[in-house]
Amino acid sequence: MHDYNYNDTKKLELNAIDIKNNKNKIEWIYANYENITLKIQKYDMPWLIMNGYKIARIKNLDTTAYFNDLKVVFDFTKDKLIYVTYSD
């Protein structure tokens, strides 16, 4: 079985340009906050909000999803600094 998703998590497709433009903000949040809070702003243009800061627009937002258990993984070795998953 290749990459089977046992817990049925889905990945948010974040705008790479927004992540690149907010690199310093993402690194600052990672370094200065013990608890990282994630929210999704579902207006005309959906955004990922991290500890109150707009981080990146979301490309594949499923407007019917509940976005339970939002989780972020930081990877400062790649251009895409963060990966966000959720369960529906």
Q: How confident is the model at residue 29 (pLDDT cuts 50, 70, 90)?
A: very high
Give the structural domain span for 29.
9-87
Q: How confident is the model at residue 82 (pLDDT cuts 50, 70, 90)?
A: very high
- Residue 77 clears pLDDT 90, i.e. is over it: no
Residue 4 lies in a domain: no
Q: How many domains does the chain have?
A: 1
Residue 1 lies in a domain: no
d(CA 48, CA 42): 9
And the tokens for 19? 């992540």
Q: How confident is the model at residue 50 (pLDDT cuts 50, 70, 90)?
A: very high
d(CA 14, CA 52): 17
